[in-house]
Amino acid sequence: MGILNSKIALITGGASGIGRATATLFSNEGAAVAIADINKNAGKTIEKELLSKGSKALFIPCDVSSAEDCQRAVETTINTFGALNILFNNAGIIRRASVVETTEAEWDKVLNINLKSIFLLSKYAIPHMEKTGGGVIINTASGWGLVGGRKASSYCASKGGVVLLTKAMALDHAEQNIRVNCICPGDTDTAMLRSEAEQLGEPIVQFLKEAAERPLKRMGKPEDIAQAVLYLASDASSFVTGVSLVVDGGGLAG
């Protein structure tokens, strides 16, 4: 009996990084997991892996910037598993550039994937949660949603938006017993983090070394962030809503 036994979760960006680690952890804790991702090969791989362990899992191809895809992901999850108790809005990308260096198309892509997707998925999920007595929504923000960062203007804007959208949704839907929180990870060892070094033209070894320069003297692992998401998804956080949970090894502590 896991702490998410009989719960149904939908995880965007669930085929890699933090999303994949969370899908695995949720599955180990008894949840049925729908994995929404644009990467079909990676999505099918994690689906097969979870099914092989006897878990309930489903991969849903999804472009989270598309309203049609988001609505379909929510409805497919409910039609397959019978309900939707947990929505983890985790899909995200980063463009390392100042506003001068960022094109309009790049700006729109970052904001659509990182922020608009949360609006869309939540818009379609909340009515179903309300009908079944409540639910939990967790959004992936960032430490850079709380403080600024250099050469990451669109990313910082999107993640700052996630923080305040989370608070607004928490206020709007508390009466429906829907808790809404976000996590603010620090540098976490994922493919997206490594892509930042390439975008900035920096040596990967040096970039990762600098990413580990925080009080706990290491980068985060996807599994570290997944544990925080599990806490917010579970009844252990039943009196927690509207919170931005920093998980960064002390990076923003001082």
DSSP 183: E
As a whole number of Å, the CA-based R_g of the chain is 17
CA atoms within 13 A on the CB side of 62: 35
Whether residue 155 lies in the annotated active site: yes
- Considering 155, 157, 159, 225, which one is annotated as catalytic? 155
Longest dimension (CA), the chain: 53
Q: How far apart are CA 43 and CA 46, in angstroms?
A: 5
Q: How far apart are CA 211 and CA 85, in angstroms?
A: 35
- Residues 154/193, Cβ–Cβ less than 8 Å: no
- What the block records as the tokens of 30 is 């008894």
Q: How far apart are CA 140 and CA 157, in angstroms?
A: 14
Q: How far apart are CA 4 and CA 1, in angstroms?
A: 8
- Residues 56/35, Cβ–Cβ less than 8 Å: no
DSSP 220: B
**CA-closest candidate to residue 232, choices 223, 241, 221, 224:** 241
Residue 97's φ and ψ, nearest 5 degrees, are: -165, 155
Tell me which residue has tokens 């900035």.
200
Which of the residues are catalytic? 155
